[in-house]
Structure 1
Amino acid sequence: MAASPLVEPIGGRYFEDVNQAPVVPSRPTEFGVPGVAAYALDPATSERRWDLATSIVR
């Protein structure tokens, strides 16, 4: 997917089985359950994770 020109303008999305993953309220602990948790797409959560990661590698 990352190398496909068809998805070049698309960012910040999760894909599985060659399709965009459906958003689910929370990620089950079971392996193999399809979907991406809604919190994984939250911009504020992403910003906090980015800030934490960059502070760790500095």
Structure 2
Amino acid sequence: MNNLAMDHLPADLPAPQIVQPFWFGKPAFKPTRSYLLGRLQVVAMNMLSEPERGSDEWKA
């Protein structure tokens, strides 16, 4: 998140929860951050194994 966006968030905002699509059976590796104020944390289901970092599969 860029600094301009951070300037508009409340100072007491807790850290976001970071989830990965591969935690839910999707073959993608891109973190998503969510602010879950007053909500339960997201729980991983149908988790795929992460390919070895630096491998061709990981780069794809």
TM range (shorter): under 0.3
Greater RCO (CA < 8 Å, at least 6 residues apart): 2
Higher share of residues assigned helix: 1
Return the index of the structure with the highest Cα Rg.
2
TM-score calculated relative to the size of structure 1: 0.27
